Amino acid sequence: MFRAHSLFRSALTLPAMALSVAMLAGCQQDEADETKTEAQADQRIRVAMLQPPRSGLNPLTDDAFKLSRWSTAETLVRLNKQGEPQPFLATNWTRVDPNTWRFELRDNVLFHDGTPLTANQVRAALTAAIHASPKPRILDGVSMQVEADGENAVVVRTEDADPLVPNRLSSPQLAILAAKAYGDDGRVNPIEAGTGPFVLKEINGTQSARLDRFDGYWGDKAKLSGIDADYVPDGTARGAALRTGEADVVEAVPVSQVALIDQALVHEVPMPRTNTLYLNTRTGAFMSPEMRAAAREALDRAAIVRTVYEGRADEARGLLGPALDWADGLRTPIERPQAADPGGAQITLGTFTDRAELPEVAVLLEQQLEAAGFEVQQEVRQYAHIESDMLAGKFDAFILSRATMLDSGDPVAYMYSDFACNGSFNIAQLCDPRIDAALERAADLEPGPERRQAIIEAEAAILATDAAVPMLHERVIQGESTRVRGAVRDPRERELINEHTRFVDNGSD
């Protein structure tokens, strides 16, 4: 009886035990799923960006470089480290004649809204950029037309022969977006409209943006599940975000913050970027070449590099810095006017707060100019609040950190934009026929030694006016968590997070 009763009791107990095991397994699976979800959420990278957008992330403006650095908007062409054009959304191209180029498009590319990349949409996107007002800088002085050539190619025609058409099409301002991005009012909305490994999901004004992985990407699938980008104009706050782990990747850590941060988190990136003093040639004291010469001679570059940049910069010998290793060897002495006595001339010196070092440069430069005999009044604001006045010539002098190969990978575009009579970024209000002629000559030449020599001759013509006084070449400091691998340290500031960027455990590969 006892044995039979025991067996009966065991028979009754087995289903309960099985149920308990199943419940336990279910709980463990739930916990595993929850852990997996948390791990997937942890694959979102937090990025502290230097500047907020100025035009709602309109890709036809400088905001395009944010879209490019987040790998959400792509161009027909991209540049390698040497500045040479490489395939991207276009797989190859040919120069049909001096004014005509044909670009073949990549197959099986989807926009983030699910529509396919087509020749007609490439034509429409580039045409929108061509007719934009203001026109993207990369198209300054360029008359261009685009037409579809069948279903998988476009033909680009320029009014004048242009050897840099592929380079121009690498500019983030000429990214190709889906049809829905382009409004009838000329506005461009990049949300869910690119072709990159990350899809832009939210634009939160000048505070932040959110991107998710795009699983329909034509290339390698992104290793991260998304990007959370915050705009942190204050350099001290960016440094603190890196130091405390609130951000995984930080743009432009100020030199003043580096000593407070674990050196394993900071990486110097040599930049084709020049910190330049622009002098207004149209109005005020610096209409006089001799007064501009006085400002140039007052400048103590070594003191600025030593004091403000703590030695993490290079003194400028021209507009083009060490990132273009061929430039310095081609330079010859330049004849400049003799300096006049400033005699207490009053000048307004402007700069902006977004790059933390510039206000410090302005303080030191004010001291140097006043020691030479000028009376200086400073005006410092956020870039978004000072750009229009800067371009309108409302300052006698302006300090700007300027990328010299930002758009095409070739400095002619930068020089034209900043120093040609019709340049769209002509802070110095400069118009000199000799400079325009030198730039036109350089622009007509094929890439190579002759073009490089012409570029240096154009630089000499610009420097001879003292309308731009180059001070130093920056080495931008990028902050990265030890968990991050594959963040791009890009001298041209076009890339930052891409499909290969990832996290590792405990800082190991």
What is the 3 state secondary structure string of 412-476? HHHHHHHHCCCCCCCCCCCCCHHHHHHHHHHHHCCCCHHHHHHHHHHHHHHHCCCCEEEEEEEEE
In terms of C-beta density within 10 A (0-12 exposed, 13-18 middle, 19 or more buried), how is residue 448 classed? exposed
User: DSSP assignment of 205-244, as one string?
Assistant: TTTEEEEEE-TT-SSSPPSSSEEEEEE---HHHHHHHHHH
Question: Given CA atoms 59, 468, 322, 163 in this order, what sign does their dihedral have?
Answer: positive
Please report the pLDDT score of residue 16 as a whole number.
46
Q: Which CATH number fits domain 271-474: 3.40.50.1000, 3.10.105.10, 3.40.50.150, 3.65.10.10?
A: 3.10.105.10
Q: Considering only CA atoms, which of 190, 199, 178 is closest in space to residue 116?
A: 178
Please report the pLDDT score of residue 87 as a whole number.
97
In terms of C-beta density within 10 A (0-12 exposed, 13-18 middle, 19 or more buried), how is residue 259 classed? exposed
Q: Considering only CA atoms, which of 149, 150, 130 is closest in space to residue 140?
A: 130
Contacts of 127 (CB under 8 A, 6+ apart): 146
DSSP three-state, residue 36:
helix
Regions in the chain scoring below 50 on pLDDT: 1-22, 33, 35-38
Please report the pLDDT score of residue 36 as a whole number.
45
**Paired strand residues for 188:** 182
Residue 217 amino acid letter:
Y
Neighbour tally for 497: CB within 10 Å:
26
Mean pLDDT score across all residues of the chain: 90
Helix axes of 433-444 and 449-463: crossing angle, nearest 10 degrees: 170
Domain boundaries, the chain: 271-474
pLDDT tens, position by position, 29-84? 555 545 444 455 569 999 999 999 999 999 999 999 999 999 999 999 998 876 78
What's the CA gap between 137 and 407, in Å, rounded? 8
Please report the pLDDT score of residue 447 as a whole number.
76
What's the CA gap between 113 and 105, in Å, rounded? 19
**What secondary structure letter does DSSP report for 158?**
E
Q: Considering only CA atoms, which of 305, 260, 65 is closest in space to residue 171?
A: 65
At 305, which helix (H) or strand (E)? helix 301-307
Please report the pLDDT score of residue 398 as a whole number.
98
Residue 277 amino acid letter:
L
Buried b (16+ CB within 10 A) or exposed e, 299-332: bbbeebbeebbeebbbebebbbbebbeebeebee
Please report the pLDDT score of residue 5 as a whole number.
39
Do 50 and 247 form a contact (C-beta atoms < 8 A)?
Answer: no
Please report the pLDDT score of residue 30 as a whole number.
54
